[in-house]
Amino acid sequence: MKRTALTLLMVMLCLGGYAMIETLSLEQLAHGADLIVTGKIAGVRAVEKQADGVDVVANLFEIKECLKGSIAAGEKIKIKTWRGIEDSVEFGEGRSYLLFLRSVDGNYEVFNSPQGCWPVESDGSFSAMGHGKTIEQVKNAIESRPLKFQPEFKPLSL
């Protein structure tokens, strides 16, 4: 009986660890993103409810500064997120963020969600997975030499 319980516990631990996101280095995050921008969320709107209960959400993001990519300050982009999925980003309307984004099927998505979404606090510091990092570190990571073997990330499919 004890062996069965121990075996079951080990299986649960292994499966639980598999479901967690892979944390990337700042350089991997910067080189894997197609677009890195600062700005604020101008609007959040659920656009579709899927059969499994997950909401597809369109987020309108106004660019303040583009650190990587070719979007001008003041432009607005749509970012696709999902509500009802663990580790999916949920934006707050009017909040400021530094975002690492990937273009997937004509939409922008947060790269390595939730690691690619850093809320900007009132004092200009980053919170969440950007806590303790600076904008200078992000710029240095963008300018750094890419890794020879960049990990491959496939888009989220539901």
Cα→Cα distances 56→79, 106, 115, 156, Å: 10, 15, 19, 12
Q: Is the dihedral of CA 74, 32, 124, 108 positive or negative?
A: positive
Q: What is the pLDDT of residues 6-41, one digit of tens each?
A: 555 565 555 544 445 689 999 999 999 999 999 999
Alpha carbon distance 108, 79 (integer Å): 5
pLDDT in the model for residue 86: 87
User: How would residue 150 be classed by pLDDT, with cut points 50, 70 and 90?
Assistant: low
Q: What is the pTM assigned to this prediction?
A: 0.80
User: pLDDT tens digit string along 67-86?
Assistant: 999 999 999 999 999 998 88
Q: What pLDDT, on a 0 to 100 scale, did the predictor assign at position 146?
A: 73
Angle value at C-alpha 138, between 137 and 139, nearest 5 degrees: 90
pLDDT tens digits along 108-142: 999 999 999 999 999 999 999 999 999 999 999 99
pLDDT of residue 77: 97
Q: What are phi and psi of 134, to 5 degrees?
A: -120, 165
Beta bridge partners of 66: 37
Q: Which domains does the chain have, with CATH numbers?
A: 23-143 (2.40.50.120)
Separation in Å, CA 33 to CA 17, 23, 122, 151, 157: 25, 14, 25, 12, 18
Rg value, the chain, Cα: 18
Instruction: Decide if 60 contacts 41 (C-beta within 8 A).
Output: yes
The reported pLDDT for the residue numbered 2 is 60
The three-class DSSP label of residue 101 is strand
